[in-house]
Every structure is written in C-alpha cells, then in structure tokens.
Amino acid sequence: MRLLIPLLLLNWGLTHAQNTLQLEEGESSPNATLDGVAWIEGSWQGEALGGKVEEIWSPALGGSMMFSFKLVHDGKISFYEFGHIQEKDNTLVLQLKHFNGNLTGWETQKETVDFKLVKLEKDKVYFEGLTMEKLDGDEMQVSVVVGQEGKTKELVFNYRKYY
C-alpha cells in the first residue's frame, strides 16, 4: 500500500484542504493537555483507502496517549501506524511511524512524522494537516493531508467506536 498511495497522489494533483489547518509562519502551538483529547480513547473501525481500517487509542498515561492503526485489504494487513499524542512544552504533538504489514518501517529509525497542535475545541482537535472530530458518542471523523512532491490530497476517515 505504501507504493499505491504515492502513485494515486500523483494523479490527484494539488488539492485545498477543507477540514485541516496549518500554523501560520512564526505562530506557536497553543497551551493544551491530554484532558482536551481524552474523548479519543477507545477502539474505532471504519472503511477507507479501499479497505477496512482500525485505530485503537489508550487512555492517557505518562503524558501520552498511545495508538495503533491498521489498514486491511482482502484479509491482509496493508500497513500499520504506531504513535502517540504527547504533552510536550505545555502543548500537544501527534507523532507516528508507518510500517508495512511485515513491520518493516517506512521512516528511518530516528525519524517520526510529527503534527503540531494548531487549535483545540470541545470534541475537535486540529493538528497541522490532521483533524480529529467526535461527531457523537460513538462516531469520529479524521481528516489528514497526504502526498508527496508538492501534490497533496485530504483524506477523510469515518470511524465508529466498537468498544
């Protein structure tokens, strides 16, 4: 799937994000704690990228909320993401790493994909290029900007909490 996503993005071209935000030049992330995103905790499933997706978020512990993500096509894992939302310097940062189905990494050993906090509202958190919103008690929408070589696309994932 890692190769498929960039190939698809080359055909999409540059798209304006509708659900995500970016920090302005020189702007800092606002103060925040994990209490503001505690609603993310739980197990979520949905369909996206032509397959079934699952995200599992732990409760806050040690200044972070850990998560795992997987995409399944035809009963096989296409890729995983592992990461956390961490309290750092009086704000929040979401960090993750990607892995193939056999757990070989996409990023280098010391590299992470980082999303700085832009804005926090009740039941909605904006990181740079990634927004998570609680739609009701058991539904969540995640919007994320993906791409390469200056060509981006905003993908929307709709989840339902299953436990």
51-77 per-residue burial string, b: 16 or more CB within 10 A, e: under 16: bebbbbbeebeeebbbbbbbbbeeeeb
Amino acid, single-letter form, for residue 20: T
Burial class (CB in 10 A: 0-12, 13-18, 19+), 108: exposed
Contact present, 55 and 47 (Cβ < 8 Å): no
Residue 125's nearest CA partner among 154, 155, 91 is 91
Domain count, the chain: 1
Q: What is the CATH number of the domain that holds 127?
A: 2.40.128
**Tokens 């509708």, residue?**
18
- Specify the pTM: 0.85
For the chain, give the number of residues: 163
**Domain region containing 100:** 4-161
pLDDT tens-digit profile, the chain (163 residues): 343 343 333 333 334 568 888 888 998 999 999 999 999 999 999 999 999 999 999 999 999 999 999 999 999 999 999 999 999 999 999 999 999 999 999 999 999 999 999 999 999 999 999 999 999 889 999 999 988 767 888 999 999 999 7
